[in-house]
Each structure stands twice: as structure tokens, then as C-alpha cells.
């Protein structure tokens, strides 16, 4: 049985695939996903950026789509959600400056709820101070931030993901099959009611 509600925190120049693909996939699998951005309301959009790997020393960036938000950041409460998903791209860089975003991220860790972050999403986790002693993958350029925050950087293939308890992370969108599969496994395990042994 899918967890009832997932909160997606995103923002302008979020990575296109890392926002659109998980949002649509999780909806298709029966989850409810509310996508929010500080300072914006349901029905407004965030600009996305397409990051690609074309043989240069770092990713290339192109303008993507306009992604429509379906909930209002100021109206949601982290306590009302079963899980959190943080796309990568450039959005985490500025979202980590927002105290309410940081508070929301910390709630999911304090409550032991499932959290999925991909690529530069680790910047938000590092700023929230939730990586100490945790294994975390991210885009390789974010490795210093993971390690400076006390995390253990998972140096894995770009098509792989890693789970550490309730935290599921991956380096970039080529990892979607593994990342989303692992996240849904954690989500489904967290929604199984505890039973008392007879």
C-alpha cells in the first residue's frame, strides 16, 4: 500500500528529469505527491534546467520546461506528509538559504520518515545538518559538502543509488530506475503497520 502523501520541495532551475520523472512516476504508482516551492503558489511554475553528460569536464545545462506546482509552500506542513523527495539541479543551492525549507527537511529526519535526494539535492541535506554518519550519494562535485557535513560519500556508478535506513540517494538522473525502486521499497516498508507479537 503506497504511503499516502509525499512532499517534493523544488525551485527554479531544478533539474528537469529529476523533477518531472519522479513526480509522474510516483503519481502513476498510486502515491500522492505535492510539489512546492517557497514564494510560489499552486498553479504557478518553476523553470527547469536539463543537465546532460556530453563529454565535458562537468555537465552541460540547457533550459527545460515549466513545471507546474500543485501545492502552496506556505500552506503545507511537513508533519502531514509521509516522505520527502528533493530533486537536484540548481534549486537546492538557493533553497538551503530558506529557514522554513531547512526546518521541513529536519522534520523528516527527526521523525525517521523516508527521504529521497538526488544529485545536488545533497546540498540541502548538508545545510540541514542531517548527514552526520549517513551514507549519501550525490553529483560528484557535491562530495566536499557531503563530507564536510559529516556524511560518508557513496562513490557509486551514475546509474546506481544507495539506501541508508530511511535515506535514499543517487548521483544523477541516469540512476532513476534504481533510485525510485529503492525509494518505493523504503516507502512501502514504512507504511506497513507494526503488529504486536503474540
The reply to whether 120 belongs to the active site is yes
Environment class of residue 173 by beta-carbon count within 10 Å: exposed (0-12), middle (13-18) or buried (19+)?
buried
Catalytic site residue from 120, 136, 142, 176: 120
Listing DSSP states for 172-188 in one string gives SGGGHHHHHHHHHHHHH
> Catalytic: 29?
no
Cα–Cα distances (Å) from 141 to 59, 82, 138, 147, 172, in that order, read: 10, 30, 8, 11, 11
Which of 119, 136, 142, 176 is catalytic? The answer is 119
- Report CA-CA distances (Å) from 126 to 38, 53, 78, 93: 19, 24, 19, 11
Extract the C-alpha cell encoding 54.
556530453
Just list the catalytic residues: 119-120
Amino acid at each position: 500500500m503506497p504511503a499516502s502523501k509525499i512532499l517534493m520541495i523544488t525551485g527554479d532551475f531544478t533539474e528537469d528529469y529529476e523533477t518531472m520523472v519522479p513526480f509522474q512516476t510516483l503519481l502513476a504508482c498510486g502515491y500522492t505527491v505535492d510539489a512546492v516551492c517557497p514564494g510560489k503558489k499552486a498553479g504557478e511554475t518553476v523553470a527547469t534546467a536539463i543537465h546532460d553528460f556530453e563529454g565535458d569536464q562537468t555537465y552541460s545545462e540547457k533550459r527545460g520546461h515549466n513545471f507546474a506546482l500543485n501545492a502552496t509552500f506556505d500552506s503545507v506542513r511537513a508533519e502531514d506528509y509521509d516522505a520527502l523527495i528533493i530533486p537536484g539541479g540548481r534549486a537546492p543551492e538557493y533553497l538551503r538559504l530558506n529557514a522554513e525549507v531547512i526546518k521541513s527537511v529536519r522534520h523528516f529526519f527527526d521523525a525517521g520518515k523516508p527521504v529521497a535526494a538526488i544529485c545536488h539535492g545533497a546540498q540541502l541535506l548538508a545545510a540541514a545538518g542531517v548527514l552526520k554518519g549517513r551514507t549519501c550519494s550525490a553529483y560528484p562535485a557535491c562530495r566536499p559538502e557531503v563530507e564536510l557535513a559529516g556524511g560518508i560519500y557513496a562513490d557509486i556508478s551514475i546509474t546506481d543509488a544507495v539506501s541508508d535506513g530511511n535515506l535514499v540517494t543517487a548521483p544523477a538522473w541516469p540512476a532513476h530506475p534504481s533510485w525510485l525502486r529503492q525509494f518505493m521499497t523504503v516507502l512501502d516498508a514504512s507504511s506497513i503497520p507494526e503488529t504486536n507479537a503474540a
